[in-house]
Amino acid sequence: MLRLENLSQIGGKKRLCASKSISNRVLIMNALANGDVSLLSNLAVCDDTDVMLRALTEMSHEINIGAAGTSMRFLTAYLSTCEGETHLITGTERMKNRPISLLVEVLRSLGADISYVEKEGFPPLQIKGKCLEGGSIEIKGDVSSQYISALLMIAPKLKKGLQLKLIGKVISRPYILMTLSLMKEFGIESFWDEKTNVINVPHQNYVSCPYVVENDWSGASYWYEFLAVQGSGEIVLSGLREQSTQGDQKISTLFSQLGVDTKYTDDGIILTATGECVEQMEYDFVEQPDMAQTFVVACCLLGIPFHFYGLQSLKIKETDRIFALKNELKKVGFVIEEPCEGELQWKGLKCEQQNPIVIETYEDHRMAMSFAPVAIKFPIIIHHPEVVSKSYPIFWETLLDK
């Protein structure tokens, strides 16, 4: 339990962690290249990357990835290609209730030997690695991009490569582009035909290489949120690039609508609060779903009505984030609505605040961090603040270090 109150003058240089999205991808690619992990610099120090690194280093019979959804999906695909090895991959109770059948069925169609150990369609999984045939497959474009990235990363190892057709609307496109861009860094050529939505990855070999992981734009979003709510001040963040493979870099322009300007430097960025906000905000988060919580909370605290779209994937994240946002914001005094599937809206409707305001985190790191700026306006108590260890373990230390 963490009590936050009287937060003011949040500013100066704040420490960021490296991107876990990039870290977990390059760890898989480095393993596929049979590279030494010492070639990878500035890997994220967080739960999700720690379990990935341990799994790939130890390759034990039973691999417990805890609550790391990225690791579950990426390792399921990777282990399927490890010829002659058998592994059982499991996780927390929440992980055992996160569906994975779509990925498993596609991998089986490519020749993978995967069986469910407990409940059909859910982890834990027993995986017998083998040489997979590959070929042409289809997958819905509106599923988690981690399924698609998992398939793309093992594609070069398949005997026939992979021709992956994305059906319907493609969500989280930047994460797919990130995967393909990083694969190129490790020597893999791919071709995405935008007209047919077919991604073609021929059979080829990964090449191990040194790689420095960029810092995390998702983590940066919470410092943008603090400045926006505070309405004044300046924050310096290092290790971020304007030309980034991370889709969440979009926040650098989105937050200008909420009164925060971004200046790029050789070392990173400087954020300056202008206090100049739009009267209302409308945006499709289909390509930045992890940023939805940040903007929902920020807009409420700033009194800015909003209508956000493209939030379908929020229900299958660490928790049902749609439900969690509606429930916890009501405690702060804001009534947000879900007008349609995958949408959230606030028309300015308020209700009586809980006293004291106690925020539940639902085993979700982003719930904890996106609600932290509430403490600029009102005293709050955050249950299980330790959940930030999933992606940003130094968050509270960095926040409270004045």
Active site residues: 290
The one-letter code for the residue type at 47 is: D
In which region does residue 45 sit, left (phi positive, over 0), alpha (psi from -120 to 50) or beta (all else)?
A: beta
DSSP helix/strand/coil, 102: helix
Question: Do 200 and 191 meet the contact criterion of CB atoms below 8 Å apart?
Answer: yes
- Give the number of C-alpha atoms closer than 13 A to the C-alpha of residue 240, restricted to the C-beta side: 29
Locate the DSSP E strands across 154-233. 162-167, 191-193, 198-201, 211-212
Spell out the alpha helix ranges (H) of 59-172.
69-80, 101-109, 145-154
Phi, psi (deg, nearest 5) at residue 392: -150, 65
Question: Do 221 and 238 meet the contact criterion of CB atoms below 8 Å apart?
Answer: no
Who contacts 381 (Cβ-Cβ below 8 Å, separation ≥6)?
1, 2, 3, 4, 356, 357, 358, 359
Cα(211)–Cα(41) distance, integer angstroms: 6
Who contacts 294 (Cβ-Cβ below 8 Å, separation ≥6)?
221, 222, 224, 225, 251, 366, 369, 370
